[in-house]
Amino acid sequence: DGGITQSPKYLFRKEGQNVTLSCEQNLNHDAMYWYRQDPGQGLRLIYYSQIVNDFQKGDIAEGYSVSREKKESFPLTVTSAQKNPTAFYLCASSTRRETDYEQYFGPGTRLTVT
Partner 1 sequence: GQQVMQIPQYQHVQEGEDFTTYCNSSTTLSNIQWYKQRPGGHPVFLIQLVKSGEVKKQKRLTFQFGEAKKNSSLHITATQTTDVGTYFCAGPERGSTLGRLYFGRGTQLTVWP
Contacting partner 1 within 16-55 (CB under 8 A): 31, 33, 40-43, 45, 48, 50
Count of all residues that appear for the chain in the document? 114
Spatial separation of the C-alpha atoms in residues 105 and 102, rounded to whole Å = 10
Give the per-residue contact string, 77-106, with partner 1 (x = CB under 8 A; - = no): -------------x-x---x-xxxxxxxxx
Spatial separation of the C-alpha atoms in residues 76 and 13, rounded to whole Å = 15
Q: By C-beta, is 2 or 42 nearer to partner 1?
A: 42
Q: Kindly tell me the burial class for residue 78, based on how many C-beta atoms sit within 10 Å of its own C-beta (0-12, 13-18, 19 or more).
A: buried
CB of 38 to partner 1, least distance (A): 11
Binding site for partner 1 (CB under 8 A): 31, 33, 40-43, 45, 48, 50, 56, 58, 90, 92, 96, 98-108
